[in-house]
Amino acid sequence: MEPETGLSKPMAVIACATMAFLYVAILYAPTFILRLPAPSSLKEFMIRRFICVAISSFMSLVLCAFLLPLRKREATYLLGVYGIRLDHFWQAVAFPLSLTSLMYAGSLVFKSLLLVDSWREHMHQGEGFFFNCVKAILQSFLAGLSSTASNVLAWRNYVVVSLVIDRSEITSFKDNLGRCTLTKWLSISIKAPITEELVFRACMIPLLLCGGFDIYVVILLCPILFSLAHLNHWMEIYGRQNYSLLKAFMVVGLQLGYTVIFGSYASFLFIRTGHLVAPLVAHIFCNFMGLPMLFVRRTGIVSLAFIAGAVAFICLLCPITRPHLYNDGTDDCECWHGYCS
């Protein structure tokens, strides 16, 4: 990118805010703009949302390419700006994934304890041969993978799109969801890796950096923009679920707080590595694991594992994300953040 970008800070912020608004607003387009009938099934509802968010992501990529003052307009160079690269791919997958897993040391230890208990139960029931136990575990794992691959909700959670559920759009199939599931869907928005990382990392970060913002400001600003785009959850909780004003703010505040924390971490990974796949794999892993487990009653090993993992995470955060691990240290490096030039 040129040193004199011609992209002002206000223009960069306005562009990012527009993309954040579009990312959420387009989800309501089928109902409020196109006036389409309510979907008859959950699968139809999901597919409709997938299409909407794909359109908004593509529009954000085009807007970003138009505004960024690039040295070259070639497709490969533009993909590099977005962090879509094949070089140093395994480093961008393995290192951030290992780093992120440290924050889930408590959860991983707890799952290991459950696995050991299950193993002992098989032994107690006469299924004591090691081969049979391993076979049962593998069969259960493969069955889970097969179920996940064919489940539209799994594609929502781990691959495609962030969904904001509106009650008016799911009236026709709410009986299939059930009351508890419906309430959960209305109050929680699941982050989705690909589209969110494309819009809120690959597009916004280059724009803000070209606009002249400091790196640490960018790391905080991107997730804040995404969090503000989800304030409509407060209206849903307060206005339609009859929550008190304080309780509605607490529920939404907790969700937005987690979004800001994870978004800052994902932005840090993207800026340090220059690879979109780095925050992407971290995002998928966090969606799969949920919130980190801090403690479990009647055992302190989970808490100790969490503390040890958190300390290791803090100590390794900068060393394991050094830009030279993910880029060739050459003068003609085309990495958009310029660390390796």
Contact 241, 187 (CB under 8 A): yes
- Nearest CA to 99 out of 336, 302, 281 is that of 281
Answer whether residue 335 is part of any domain: no
- What is the structure's pLDDT at 7? 83
Contact 75, 81 (CB under 8 A): no
Tell whether the model's pLDDT for residue 91 goes beyond 50.
Answer: yes
Most confident of 40-54, 97-111, 145-159, 294-308: 97-111
Higher pLDDT, 76 or 203: 203
Tell whether the model's pLDDT for residue 96 goes beyond 50.
Answer: yes
Q: Which residues are catalytic?
A: 196, 230
Provide mean pLDDT across the span 124-148.
57
- What is the structure's pLDDT at 165? 43
Tell whether the model's pLDDT for residue 145 goes beyond 60.
Answer: no
Tell whether the model's pLDDT for residue 188 goes beyond 60.
Answer: no
- What is the structure's pLDDT at 307? 93
Answer whether residue 124 is part of any domain: yes
- What is the structure's pLDDT at 339? 44
β-bridge mates for residue 296, sequence order: 299
Beta-carbon contacts of residue 71 (< 8 Å; ≥ 6 apart): 1, 2, 77
What percent of the chain has pLDDT above 90? Answer: 25
Confidence of residue 38 (pLDDT cuts 50, 70, 90): confident
Among 195-204, 208-217, 288-297, where is mean pLDDT lowest?
Answer: 288-297
Answer whether residue 127 is part of any domain: yes
Tell whether the model's pLDDT for residue 341 goes beyond 50.
Answer: no
Most confident of 13-22, 220-229, 296-305: 13-22
Per the prediction, the chain carries an average pLDDT of: 75
- What is the structure's pLDDT at 266? 93
Tell whether the model's pLDDT for residue 297 goes beyond 50.
Answer: yes
Q: Tell whether the torsion through CA atoms of 242, 223, 315 and 104 is positive or negative.
A: positive
β-bridge mates for residue 299, sequence order: 296
Answer whether residue 135 is part of any domain: yes
What are the DSSP calls for 169-217, one per residue?
Answer: GSGGGHHHH-HHHHHHHHH-----HHHHHIIIIIIHHHHHHHTT--HHH
3-state secondary structure of 296: strand
- What is the structure's pLDDT at 147? 53
Contact 225, 16 (CB under 8 A): yes
- What is the structure's pLDDT at 175? 43
Provide mean pLDDT across the span 256-268.
88
Q: Which two tokens stand for residue 190?
A: 């699941």
Q: Which two tokens stand for residue 204?
A: 């916004």
- What is the structure's pLDDT at 290? 82
Tell whether the model's pLDDT for residue 3 goes beyond 90.
Answer: no
- What is the structure's pLDDT at 161? 45
3-state secondary structure of 220: helix
The total of other beta-carbon atoms located within 10 Å of residue 165's CB is 19
Answer whether residue 219 is part of any domain: yes
Q: Residue 115 belongs to what domain range?
A: 9-154+175-325
- What is the structure's pLDDT at 184? 39
Beta-carbon contacts of residue 92 (< 8 Å; ≥ 6 apart): 85, 273, 275, 277, 278, 281, 326
Tell whether the model's pLDDT for residue 301 goes beyond 80.
Answer: yes
Domain total of the chain: 1
**Angstrom distance (rounded) from CA 1 to CA 3:** 6
Tell whether the model's pLDDT for residue 327 goes beyond 70.
Answer: yes
Beta-carbon contacts of residue 154 (< 8 Å; ≥ 6 apart): 148
Among 75-79, 103-107, 148-152, 270-274, where is mean pLDDT lowest?
Answer: 148-152
Contact 163, 49 (CB under 8 A): yes
Tell whether the model's pLDDT for residue 191 goes beyond 50.
Answer: no
The predicted-structure confidence for 214-250, as pLDDT tens digits, reads as follows 888 999 888 888 777 666 555 555 555 566 666 766 7
Most confident of 119-133, 213-227, 247-261: 213-227
Provide mean pLDDT across the span 173-186.
40
Confidence of residue 329 (pLDDT cuts 50, 70, 90): low
- What is the structure's pLDDT at 319? 93
